[in-house]
Amino acid sequence: MSLAPHEQFSEILKRTKRPVIVLKATPTVDDFTAAFCLRAFLNTLEKPCEIVTVGGAAPASLKFLSTYTDVKNDFSNINALSIRINTDRIKVNGLTYAIDGRDLVVTITPKTGAWKNNDARIACNDYAYDLIIAIGTPNRISLGEIHNKYADFFLRTPIVVIDHAPENEQFGAINIVDLSATSTSETCFELLNRIDVSAIDATIATTLFAGMMSKTKSFRSPNVTPKTLDVAQKLMEAGAEREKIVEHLYRTRSVETLRLWGRALARLKSDESIGLVWTLVTRQDFISAGSSIDMLPDVIDELFSTSPAAKVAAIIFETSDGHISAYLHANHPHDSLTLGSPFHPVGAQEMSQLFLTESDIVSAEKNLISHLKKALQS
What confidence tens digit (pLDDT) does each residue in 242-273 have? 999 988 887 766 777 778 888 888 898 989 89
Burial code (b: 16+ CB inside 10 Å, e: under 16) for 281-300 equals beeebbeebebebebbbbbb
Least confident of 134-138, 164-168, 219-223, 359-363: 219-223
Q: Average of pLDDT values for 201-221? A: 92
Residue 280: phi and psi, rounded to 5, are -120, 145
Domains of the chain as residue ranges with CATH? 5-75+128-248 (3.90.1640.10), 81-124 (no CATH), 255-377 (3.10.310.30)
d(CA 205, CA 212): 10
User: 70 near 57, Cβ under 8 Å?
Assistant: yes
Residues of the chain with pLDDT > 70, as a percent, come to 97
> In which band, very low, low, confident or very high, does the pLDDT at 300 lie, cut at 50, 70 and 90?
confident
pLDDT for 32-88, tens place per residue?
Answer: 999 999 999 999 999 989 999 998 888 888 999 999 999 999 998 887 777 788 887
| CA 184 centroid distance within chain | 12
Q: What is the DSSP letter of 127?
A: P
Q: How many CB atoms lie within 10 A of CB 152?
A: 11
C-alpha radius of gyration, the chain, whole number:
24
> In which band, very low, low, confident or very high, does the pLDDT at 1 lie, cut at 50, 70 and 90?
low
Is-above-0.85 flag for pTM?
Answer: no
